[in-house]
Structure 1
Amino acid sequence: MNEAPRQVRIAVGVWLATAVFVLFTAAGLWFQRGEIEQLSKKPPGEVTTFLVALTVMAVIFAGLYAWLTRLFLKRRNWARIALSLIAIVHMMWLLLVGISPASLVTLLLICVAIVFTWQARTAQWFAEVREQ
């Protein structure tokens, strides 16, 4: 297999960075639990339920990004499509949960990853597999 072009390596790096950032963001929320309780004026049980839901979703998205990125690097074109669809679902989830600085960074990472995933050189790299 030929070495992946720069655009593909950047896309892979940004997808994996997105996965790691999502996990660190979820973990960081647990350290801010008291502040979340104060700001939301919700009982501790509700805040815990909310944090568990966010953490579960973060693990699911990060796992999907890692798995699909691995397949993307193996030139599975369907993984490129799936990454983009999962990213769109993730963006909608972030907008539903609420905008924060961390979610804006996540949205930016996702947008950059999608751009590099669908660049012409990346498409050409996938086409080389079909030609062989």
Structure 2
Amino acid sequence: MNDAPKPVRVAVGLWLAIAVFVLFTTIGLWFQRGEIERMSGRPSGDVTNFLVALTVVGVLFAALYGWLTRNFLRRKNWARVAVSFVAIAHMLWLLIVGTSPATLVTLLLICVAIVFTWQSAAAQWVAEVREK
């Protein structure tokens, strides 16, 4: 990563930060389980099923971000494209599930990460491998 231009380093940092933030947010929801039950008025089993679904999706997104970021660092252009599509799917998922301060932070981080991922310096850096 030492030879990567600044936009690539920033993008990689943001993608990894998003992955970690998603995991911490998901863990935080489990600590708020009682509050979620009280606010939703749903039975305990329904809240548990909801949290399990959110956990599975959160871990899936975090794993995809980690794996795709690793491949992006290996100068794989397909990973740059794929992480962008995963991010768009993640954004849609967040908007469907509902907004919260954590959701808004995640959406902002994703937008900034996409911008850095698609800067011309990042494209040139990935393209250098194909030229050699």
Aligned pairs, how many? 132
Report deviation, 1:131: 1.2
Identity %: 72
Name 1:40's counterpart in structure 2: 40
CA distance in 2, matches of 1:63, 1:82: 13
- Aligned runs of 1:7-46 on 2, under 5 Å? 7-46=7-46
- What stretches of structure 1 move > 3 A for 4+ residues in a row? none
Gaps of 5+ in 2: none
For residues 54-73 of structure 1, the aligned pairs below 5 Å read 54-73=54-73
Q: CA separation in 2, counterparts of 1:14 and 1:30?
A: 25
TM-score, normalised to structure 2, is: 0.98
How far off its partner does 1:129 sit? 1.1
CA distances 1:33-70 after superposition (whole Å, capped 9, x unpaired)? 00000100100000000000000000000000000000
Distance 1:19 1:103 in 2: 13
Does residue 94 (structure 1) correspond to residue 69 (structure 2)? The answer is no
Unaligned runs of 5+ residues in structure 1 are: none
TM-score (norm 1): 0.98
